[in-house]
Chains A and B, each alone.
Chain A
Amino acid sequence: MTDQQWDTLSIQAVSAAGVVYFLALLAYSAQWAARRGAVEGEGSARAEVFARFAFLLTVVAGGVHLLALVARGFAADPNRVPWGNMYEFTLTATFVVTLVTVLFFRRWNLAFLGPWAVGLVMVVLMLDVVWLYEPIAPLTEALSSPWLVIHVIAAITATGVFTLGGLVSILYLLRESGRLSSLPAADVLDRISYRLHAFAFPIWTFAVLIAGPIWAHQAWSRYWGWDPKEVWAFITWVVYAAYLHARATAGWKGRAAAIVALVGLGTLWFNFIGINFFFGGGLHSYAKP
Chain B
Amino acid sequence: MSSVREKPQGPAQGNERLPGELTLRELLRWTWRQLTSMRTALVLLFLLALAAIPGSVIPQTSVDDFAVKQWKADHTRLGPIYAKLGMFEVFSSPWFSAIYLLLAVSLVGCILPRTRVYWRALRAAPPTAPRNLTRLPDSAAFATEEAPEVVLDRARALLRKKRYRVVAGGDAVAAERGYLREAGNLLFHIAVLVVLAGFAIGSLWGYKGGVIIAEGSQFSNTPTQYDDFTPGKLTKASELDPFRLQLDRFDIQWLFDGPRKGMARKFVAGLTWWDSDGTKRTDDLKVNHPLSIGGTDVFLIGHGYAPVLTVRDAEGNVAYSGPTPFLPQEQRNFTSFGVVKVPDAKPKQIGLQGLFLPTYNGDPLNSAMGKDLNPLITMQAYVGDLGINGGVPQSIYSLDTSKMKLLAKPGGKMFRVDLKPGQSVDLPGGNGSVTFEGVKPWVRLEIAKKPGTWLALSGAIMALLGLCGSLYVRPRRLWVRAVRSADGETLVEVAGLDRSARSDLTDDLTAFVAALQGAATTDITTNGSAGAAGAAGVQEDQ
Q: Which residues of A contact B (CB under 8 A)?
A: 77, 107-109, 135-138, 140-142, 144-145, 184-185, 188, 191-192, 194-195, 198, 201-202, 205-206, 209-210, 213-214, 217-228, 231-232, 234-235, 238-239, 241-242, 244-249, 251-252, 267, 275, 279, 282
Instruction: Given A226-B55, A238-B45, A252-B42, answer yes or no on A209-B536 (Cβ-Cβ < 8 Å).
Output: no
B407 within 8 A of A: no
- Residues of chain A within 8 A of B503, CB atoms compared: 107-108
> In the complex, what distance in Å separates the CA atom of A27 from the CA atom of B138?
38
5 closest cross-chain pairs (CB), A and B: A221-B299, A109-B537, A221-B446, A231-B56, A228-B56
State whether A242 touches B208 (Cβ < 8 A).
Answer: no
- Residues of chain B within 8 A of A252, CB atoms compared: 42
State whether A245 touches B537 (Cβ < 8 A).
Answer: no
> In the complex, what distance in Å separates the CA atom of A228 from the CA atom of B90?
12
B288 within 8 A of A: yes
- Residues of chain B within 8 A of A279, CB atoms compared: 56-57
State whether A108 touches B55 (Cβ < 8 A).
Answer: no
Q: How far is the CB of A213 from chain B (nearest CB, A)?
A: 8
Instruction: Given A137-B259, A225-B63, answer yes or no on A206-B471 (Cβ-Cβ < 8 Å).
Output: no
Instruction: Given A222-B448, A227-B63, answer yes or no on A184-B464 (Cβ-Cβ < 8 Å).
Output: no
| Chain B interface residue number, banded | 35 or more
Of B263, B288, B457, the most chain A CB neighbours within 10 A belong to B288
Selected A-B contacts with CB under 8 Å, 21 pairs: A138-B259, A141-B265, A142-B288, A144-B288, A194-B540, A195-B538, A202-B468, A209-B195, A209-B460, A217-B297, A221-B208, A221-B301, A223-B457, A226-B60, A226-B90, A226-B91, A227-B63, A245-B42, A245-B45, A246-B42, A251-B39
- Residues of chain B within 8 A of A138, CB atoms compared: 258-260, 265
- Residues of chain B within 8 A of A144, CB atoms compared: 288
State whether A275 touches B259 (Cβ < 8 A).
Answer: no
Of B450, B463, B471, the contact of A198 (CB 8 Å cutoff): B471
Can you name the residue of chain A whose Cβ is closest to the Cβ of B459? A209
State whether B301 touches A220 (Cβ < 8 A).
Answer: yes
**Majority SS of interface residues in chain A?**
helix
> In the complex, what distance in Å separates the CA atom of A234 from the CA atom of B53?
10
State whether A191 touches B501 (Cβ < 8 A).
Answer: yes
Q: How far is the CB of A105 from chain B (nearest CB, A)?
A: 11
Instruction: Given A138-B260, A223-B453, answer yes or no on A218-B542 (Cβ-Cβ < 8 Å).
Output: no
Interface string of B55-77 (1 = CB under 8 A from A): 11100101100000000000000
Q: Which of B437-471 contact A (CB under 8 A)?
A: 446, 448, 450, 453, 456-457, 460-461, 463-464, 467-468, 471
| New A-B pairs, 18, CB < 8 Å, besides A249-B42, A275-B56 | A109-B537, A137-B260, A140-B265, A141-B266, A194-B501, A202-B471, A210-B461, A220-B301, A221-B290, A221-B299, A221-B446, A225-B62, A231-B55, A234-B52, A242-B46, A245-B42, A245-B45, A279-B56
State whether B288 touches A205 (Cβ < 8 A).
Answer: no
- Residues of chain A within 8 A of B46, CB atoms compared: 238-239, 242
State whether A185 touches B536 (Cβ < 8 A).
Answer: yes
State whether B288 touches A219 (Cβ < 8 A).
Answer: yes
> In the complex, what distance in Å separates the CA atom of A122 from the CA atom of B542?
35
Can you name the residue of chain B whose Cβ is closest to the Cβ of A236? B49
Instruction: Given A135-B259, A201-B467, A235-B53, answer yes or no on A188-B301 (Cβ-Cβ < 8 Å).
Output: no
Can you name the residue of chain B whose Cβ is closest to the Cβ of A249? B38
State whether B471 touches A145 (Cβ < 8 A).
Answer: no
> In the complex, what distance in Å separates the CA atom of A241 from the CA atom of B55?
20
Q: How far is the CB of B193 from chain A (nearest CB, A)?
A: 14
Of B48, B91, B288, the contact of A218 (CB 8 Å cutoff): B288
Q: How far is the CB of B109 from chain A (nearest CB, A)?
A: 15
B267 within 8 A of A: yes
Q: How far is the CB of A229 from chain B (nearest CB, A)?
A: 8
Can you name the residue of chain A whose Cβ is closest to the Cβ of B53? A235
Q: How far is the CB of A190 from chain B (nearest CB, A)?
A: 9
- Residues of chain B within 8 A of A220, CB atoms compared: 299, 301
Can you name the residue of chain B whose Cβ is closest to the Cβ of A245? B42
State whether A188 touches B538 (Cβ < 8 A).
Answer: yes
Can you name the residue of chain A whose Cβ is closest to the Cβ of B37? A249
Q: How far is the CB of B28 from chain A (nearest CB, A)?
A: 24
Q: How far is the CB of B454 from chain A (nearest CB, A)?
A: 11
Interface string of B24-58 (1 = CB under 8 A from A): 00000000000000110110011011001101110
Of B288, B450, B537, the contact of A108 (CB 8 Å cutoff): B537
- Residues of chain B within 8 A of A231, CB atoms compared: 52-53, 55-56
- Residues of chain B within 8 A of A137, CB atoms compared: 258-260
Instruction: Given A188-B538, A201-B467, A210-B461, answer yes or no on A245-B55 (Cβ-Cβ < 8 Å).
Output: no
Of B45, B60, B62, the most chain A CB neighbours within 10 A belong to B45
- Residues of chain B within 8 A of A246, CB atoms compared: 42
B101 within 8 A of A: no
Q: How far is the CB of B46 from chain A (nearest CB, A)?
A: 6
Interface string of B468-496 (1 = CB under 8 A from A): 10011000000000000000000000000
Q: How far is the CB of A252 from chain B (nearest CB, A)?
A: 7
- Residues of chain B within 8 A of A234, CB atoms compared: 52
> In the complex, what distance in Å separates the CA atom of A145 from the CA atom of B266?
13
> In the complex, what distance in Å separates the CA atom of A188 from the CA atom of B538?
6
B199 within 8 A of A: yes
> In the complex, what distance in Å separates the CA atom of A109 from the CA atom of B90?
45
State whether A210 touches B460 (Cβ < 8 A).
Answer: yes
Q: Which of B491-528 contact A (CB under 8 A)?
A: 501, 503
Interface string of B381-403 (1 = CB under 8 A from A): 00000000000000000000000
Of A141, A185, A198, A238, the contact of B48 (CB 8 Å cutoff): A238
> In the complex, what distance in Å separates the CA atom of A31 from the CA atom of B471?
36
Can you name the residue of chain B whose Cβ is closest to the Cβ of A246? B42
B289 within 8 A of A: yes
> In the complex, what distance in Å separates the CA atom of A201 from the CA atom of B63?
27
Q: How far is the CB of A13 from chain B (nearest CB, A)?
A: 21
> In the complex, what distance in Å separates the CA atom of A223 from the CA atom of B297?
12
Instruction: Given A205-B467, A247-B542, answer yes or no on A242-B49 (Cβ-Cβ < 8 Å).
Output: yes
- Residues of chain B within 8 A of A275, CB atoms compared: 56
State whether B540 touches A184 (Cβ < 8 A).
Answer: no
Instruction: Given A142-B287, A185-B536, A228-B56, answer yes or no on A210-B464 (Cβ-Cβ < 8 Å).
Output: yes
> In the complex, what distance in Å separates the CA atom of A141 from the CA atom of B450?
25
Of A141, A202, A214, A232, the contact of B56 (CB 8 Å cutoff): A232
State whether A222 touches B53 (Cβ < 8 A).
Answer: no
- Residues of chain A within 8 A of B288, CB atoms compared: 141-142, 144-145, 218-219
